[in-house]
Structure 1
Amino acid sequence: MNLFYSKIAGLALIAFLSGCTTPNIETSQYLNSPAFSNDVANTAVLGKWSRSCALCHITGEAGAPVVGDQEEWQRRLAQGEQAILKNVLEGYNAMPALGYCMSCEVSDFRAMIAYMAGTNP
């Protein structure tokens, strides 16, 4: 019986540790793609946003720009789309790489940014 529990504990540890890796993302391949305004925040994207981004971007937690705060978003958009997307993919200040959305595609991030900035509701 002890061997059984040891195997279960070992498998659980392996599963846990494999979930703790940071995805390998080649940022440069995404930086020259179309503008944020071309991506639409559909129901699926907004579902991902509500599970991953909303916590900080509704309250402004850790300095995150709040959804619909035109002044804050215009300041960030002035840096250029490449800079914003790079920060999302690689992490910036308190936001980890991919902003807690490990299932998001780059097109999802583009749509989420457009939604939060109000450039494509």
Structure 2
Amino acid sequence: MSDSQIQSQWERVGGEAAVKAVLDRFYEGVLEEPQLAGFFDNVAVDDIKPHLAEVLKVVLGGPDARTDIDLAEYLTEAHSDLGVSESDYSLTGQVLMDTLKEFDVPADIVETIAGALATVQPFVVAV
């Protein structure tokens, strides 16, 4: 297979349409969790989805993914006033992993996302 034929994980997972479907289901799952739903009381979930989609585009090598984004700063700023606990973060990650399983996302892509979750945890969880 030539370099031009190698697909990014973004393309392999189905691109923007697939990521949108996963995020729609993911946020449904988050809102069904009493421990997590309160984080969204004063927030329109549809306003948050594009931000997570952008992060996933960076993580999975999507086309036109931002190269100027500092994920640590981006995530710290977005979550600094929320008081996210390790338990909240863990549950959110579990909802995401369950959603990826529901959509039959390939194991290597799930591993990439799980690795990204572990890497960014310090920038989301309140100290």
> What is the TM-score when the length of structure 1 is the normalising length?
0.30
Structure 2 length as normaliser, TM-score?
A: 0.30
Identify, as 1 or 2, the structure richer in helix: 2
Q: Higher Cα Rg: structure 1 or 2?
A: 1
